[in-house]
Amino acid sequence: MRRKLAAGNWKMNGTAAALAEIEALIAAHPAPAADILVCPPATLIHRAAKLAGGSAVAIGGQDCHAEASGAHTGDISAEMLRDAGASHVILGHSERRADHGERDEDVRAKARRAMESGLIAVICVGESLAEREAANTLDIIGGQLSGSVPDMATGENLVIAYEPIWAIGTGRVPTTDQIGEVHGFIRARLERRFGAGVGRSVRLLYGGSVKPGNAAGIFAVPDVDGALVGGASLKAEDFSPIIAALEAA
Ligand code: PEP
Interval between CA 134 and ligand 1 midpoint (Å): 23
Ligand 1: which residue has its CA nearest to atom 4?
230
Contacts of 74 (CB under 8 A, 6+ apart): none
Quote the pLDDT of residue 60.
98
pLDDT tens for the chain, 249 residues long, are 899 999 999 999 999 999 999 999 999 999 999 999 999 999 999 999 999 999 999 999 999 999 999 999 999 999 999 999 999 999 999 999 999 999 999 999 999 999 999 999 999 999 999 999 999 999 999 999 999 999 999 999 999 999 999 999 999 999 999 999 999 999 999 999 999 999 999 999 999 999 999 999 999 999 999 999 999 999 999 999 999 999 999
| CB-CB contact of 160 with 182 (8 Å) | no
Q: How many domains does the chain have?
A: 1
Whole-structure pTM value: 0.98
Ligand 1: which residue has its CA nearest to atom 1?
230
**Boundaries of domain holding 44:** 5-248
CA atoms within 13 A on the CB side of 57: 28
Give the Cα separation of 164 and 209 in Å (integer).
Answer: 10
Residue among 159, 229, 238, 239 to mutate when testing ligand 1 (max atoms within 8 A of CB): 229
Give the Cα separation of 59 and 51 in Å (integer).
Answer: 10
Output the domain CATH number for residue 95. 3.20.20.70
Ligand 1: which residue has its CA nearest to atom 6?
230
Catalytic positions, written as ranges:
93, 163
Interval between CA 195 and ligand 1 midpoint (Å): 30
Quote the pLDDT of residue 158.
98
Quote the pLDDT of residue 1.
81
